Structure formats: structure tokens, C-alpha cells
Amino acid sequence: MDTTYQWLASFAQSAGLLYFVGIFVSVCAYAFWPKNRARFEQAAHTPLQED
């Protein structure tokens, strides 16, 4: 019984690590994708624009 818990806990930690690494890589790819540059520059200047 104890071995099953240890295996399951180890598997959950490994799967969680892979999940969060995948999310991090996806967010970085989205942020640095050349097509999104203009959108992010426009959003960065939004607080400085006057209506």
C-alpha cells in the first residue's frame, strides 16, 4: 500500500512538472511570437494615450 502511494505521488509530481513547463513554454512562445509584437506595443502605450 505504501509503495502505491509513493509511486502515485512521484507520478503526480512528474506530471505536474511537465504540465507547468508546458504552460510556461506556451506562454513564452505566445509572448515572443513576432505576429503579436504590434498588439503588445499598442497595449503598452495605452495608459499614455489621451482620449
Q: Indicate whether 5 belongs to any domain.
A: no
Give the amino acid at 6: Q
Q: For residues 40 and 31, is the Cβ–Cβ distance under 8 A? A: yes
Q: Indicate whether 12 belongs to any domain.
A: no
**DSSP state letters, 2-28:** HHHHHHHHHHHHHHHHHHHHHHHHHHH
Q: Indicate whether 13 belongs to any domain.
A: no
- Per the structure, the complete domain to which residue 22 belongs is given by 18-46
Q: Indicate whether 41 belongs to any domain.
A: yes
For residue 2, pLDDT over 80 is answered with no
For residue 51, pLDDT over 70 is answered with no
- pLDDT band at residue 25, thresholds of 50, 70 and 90? very high
- Mean pLDDT over residues 12-22, rounded? 97
Q: Tell me how far CA of residue 18 lies from CA of 3, 11, 32, 33, in angstroms.
A: 22, 11, 21, 22
- Mean pLDDT over residues 3-32, rounded? 95
For residue 32, pLDDT over 90 is answered with yes
Number of folded domains in the chain? 1
Q: For residues 5 and 11, is the Cβ–Cβ distance under 8 A? A: no
Q: Indicate whether 26 belongs to any domain.
A: yes
For residue 1, pLDDT over 70 is answered with no
Q: Indicate whether 29 belongs to any domain.
A: yes
Q: Indicate whether 1 belongs to any domain.
A: no
